């Protein structure tokens, strides 16, 4: 018998994927607070994404927890296609530490909610997500 007691509450389908991106932090007054920060996606949907940033600087953490900042995101998709996105940080997890031998990296996860998508960005994300989904479940 199937247990349906856990209900998915997300509004958008989410795909686990690692893609390179970079982002800027923009103030409410549209000033650039922090220039391009390199990161990776961990998951992606039409509503937002989760990104992983290694060894996040302390002053950057402070800016990410401010309420009125926006992230300008440049996401790299296959085929040398970069799309521009805008979002706001909705959570910041600063607890992750990953160790390999003597090297330790601190992983920080940032949840980002998109602030509207251009038609071009939405189409590119949909096409990419469908391909990723089919790749993952093709062998099932």
Dump pLDDT digits (tens) for 31-53.
999 899 999 999 999 999 999 98
Dump pLDDT digits (tens) for 62-99.
888 877 899 999 999 887 688 999 999 887 775 555 44
What domains can be seen in the chain, in order of their start residue?
15-137 (2.40.10.220)
Task: With 0.85 as the threshold, say if the pTM is over it.
Answer: no
Q: Which pLDDT does position 70 carry in this prediction? A: 92
Residue 125 has pLDDT above 80, yes or no: yes
What CA–CA distance (Å, rounded) separates 89 from 86? 10
Q: Which pLDDT does position 80 carry in this prediction? A: 67
Contact yes or no for 60/25 (Cβ under 8 A):
yes
Residue with tokens 């893609």: 19
Dump pLDDT digits (tens) for 129-139.
988 888 877 76
Q: Which pLDDT does position 2 carry in this prediction? A: 46
CB atoms within 10 A of CB 122: 14
Reported confidence tier of residue 122, pLDDT bands at 50, 70, 90: very high
Question: Residue 66 gets which letter from DSSP?
Answer: S
Nearest to 37 by CA among 68, 67, 63: 63
């Amino acid at each position: 018998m199937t247990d349906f007691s856990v209900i998915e509450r997300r509004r958008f389908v989410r795909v686990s994927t690692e893609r390179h991106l970079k982002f800027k932090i923009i103030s409410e007054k549209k000033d650039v607070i922090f220039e391009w920060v390199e990161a990776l996606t961990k998951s992606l949907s039409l509503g937002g994404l989760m990104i992983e940033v290694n060894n996040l600087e302390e002053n950057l953490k402070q800016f990410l927890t401010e309420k009125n900042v926006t992230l300008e995101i440049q996401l790299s998709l296959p085929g040398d296609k970069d799309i521009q996105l805008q979002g706001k940080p909705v959570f910041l997890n600063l607890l992750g530490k990953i160790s390999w031998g003597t090297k330790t990296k601190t992983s920080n996860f940032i949840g980002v909610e998109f602030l509207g998508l251009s038609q071009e960005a939405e189409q590119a994300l949909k096409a990419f997500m469908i391909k990723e989904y089919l790749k993952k479940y093709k062998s099932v």
